Amino acid sequence: MTISPSFAHDAADRLAVVEALYRFTAGIDLRDNNLLASSLAENAVSDFRPAAAKAGFEYPVIEGRDDIVSALTTSLANLDTTHSVSNPRVTIHEDTARMDVLVEAQHVPRNDPSRYYLMKNRYDVELKRNGDLWVIIRNTVDNVWRSGDIGVLSGI
């Protein structure tokens, strides 16, 4: 079977779009601010409000790569996190893309690993091509389900 060049290019772009989210989640989990920043456009927007509302707390929309990195680094400083990405559905139109994807995020206090807060979220991610990479320009996070101790997220 011969694969057409356009199919191979489309598959490579789809993988590169998903890889942007892998950089985002790995940057959080590994506390690697450079990796996290590499996933975001300079003027990126992070909207966690829908997920936060379902979990019973408020979280502001954050604008700008540096502010997003700083906010995530600060709010998760006392937690170990693991993110698992699954079921990405990607659509590409020229140099922009959109991805609907499930992300499971486990949060465990560094000083008390017996507690946790687990969230299964749906990410609606908008991306743009930036040279050889794709970067996130907007990420809206909604929650599907959650379990555990919500106090873990607030540091209680």
Helix (H) or strand (E) holding 128: strand 117-130
Averaged pLDDT score across all residues of the chain: 93
Residues in the chain: 156
Dihedrals phi, psi of 28, to nearest 5 degrees: -65, -50
> How buried is 43 (Cβ within 10 angstroms: 0-12 exposed, 13-18 middle, 19+ buried)?
exposed
From 1, 154, 2, select the one nearest 78 (Cα to Cα): 154
- Give the N- to C-terminal CA distance of the chain in Å, as an integer: 58
Topology (CATH) of 5-154: Nuclear Transport Factor 2; Chain: A, (3.10.450)
**pTM for the full predicted model:** 0.92
Considering just the CA atoms, what is the radius of gyration of the chain in Å?
16
Residue ranges of the domains in the chain?
A: 5-154
Q: Give the list of residues 6+ apart from residue 152 with CB closer than 8 angstroms, or none.
A: 79, 107, 108, 109, 115, 116, 117
Confidence (pLDDT) at 10: 83
d(CA 66, CA 41): 10
Residues 138/24, Cβ–Cβ less than 8 Å: no
What pairing do the DSSP bridges indicate for beta strands 133-148 and 79-93? unpaired
d(CA 25, CA 30): 9
Per-position pLDDT tens, the chain of length 156: 554 456 456 889 999 999 999 999 999 999 999 999 999 999 999 999 999 999 988 999 999 999 999 999 999 999 999 999 999 999 999 999 999 999 999 999 999 999 999 999 999 999 999 998 999 999 999 999 999 999 998 877
